[in-house]
Amino acid sequence: MKVKRSVKASEAMRGWQKCEDLKNNLFKLAMTYWNTVAILPLLLSLASGTSRADILSFTYHSPDLGSLLSGTMNGTFEPDDNTFVVTSMGPLDLDGAPAPALPFVDSPDNFLSIGPALPTVTLNASFMDLFACTDDTCSDGFLFGVGDGVSGLFGGVPVYSGGPSFGNATSLFDANGWSAAGTDDDTSPGDGESAPVFAATPEPSSLWLGLTAVALALAVRRHRRLGRPISG
């Protein structure tokens, strides 16, 4: 009888230990779940890492043309906090007057089939690759080209060009005339914004592009003749 009681006591002890182990495991699981839920918003924010600012306010003063372009761009910042990928344009002013809406945005490199790229600007103007146009032919609008394939076609010359509604002229891009800052619009990247619009069929033969190339070539020749340094 004493042996049987000892066996039953041992079995009871093992059963109690199993219950304790199960309780501890359930507690650990519950704590893990709670901690995960508590920090999930932070984890998602860190994982997305694309944008603490969805709106870029900018101004560009062209010393050659004497014009002042200002407005906003919608998009997302890259992790370097300098590169801004543009998804759409906001309201714009040219010399203080409202400019036409520019619903079409693209990378000039992509538009001209130089290479796949997204429409991009940078806060410090070290790289600019943006076409903003009234339609997908880019017969009107403006262009920034700094360090991209388009500027590379002209020996790395930084380019600013405006269509008929934006001065209808081309000049060297001056980084000293560029100013930009990002602000948070309190939405997830892309919320309430237009997706990037890209040209299905590039139109490099458009009149504005032809005038841009000619005007740019003349500007480069003029600067070289005058011995002025070309800087971005």
pLDDT > 70: percent of the chain = 56
Q: In angstroms, what CA-CA distances link 222 with 203, 218, 226, 228? A: 28, 6, 6, 9
Question: Of the ranges 3-12, 122-131, 167-176, 202-211, which one carries the lowest mean pLDDT score?
Answer: 202-211
* Domain spans in the chain, listed from the N-terminal domain onward: 1-48, 55-226
Provide the whole-model pTM: 0.62
What is the arithmetic mean of pLDDT over 184-188? 56
The mean pLDDT value of the chain amounts to 73
Q: Are 78 and 58 in contact (CB under 8 A)?
A: no
CA distance 93 to 20: 71
Q: Is the pLDDT of residue 33 over 80?
A: no
Spatial neighbors of 11 by CB under 8 A, at least 6 apart, are none
Q: In angstroms, what CA-CA distances link 139 with 28, 31, 58, 165, 213? A: 64, 61, 23, 10, 14
Q: How confident is the model at residue 30 (pLDDT cuts 50, 70, 90)?
A: very low
Q: Are 111 and 136 in contact (CB under 8 A)?
A: no
Phi first, then psi, for residue 45 (nearest 5°) are -65, -45
Q: Is the pLDDT of residue 73 over 60?
A: yes
pLDDT > 90: percent of the chain = 42
Residues forming beta bridges with residue 76, ordered by sequence position? 85
The pLDDT value given to residue 152: 77
How many whole angstroms from its chain centre is CA 68? 22
What is the arithmetic mean of pLDDT over 98-111? 94
Q: Is the pLDDT of residue 58 over 90?
A: yes
Q: Are 138 and 130 in contact (CB under 8 A)?
A: no
Surface-to-core class of residue 213, CB atoms within 10 Å of its CB (0-12 exposed, 13-18 middle, 19+ buried): middle
What is the arithmetic mean of pLDDT over 109-135? 92
CA distance 189 to 54: 6
Q: Is the pLDDT of residue 224 over 70?
A: no
What is the arithmetic mean of pLDDT over 41-52? 41
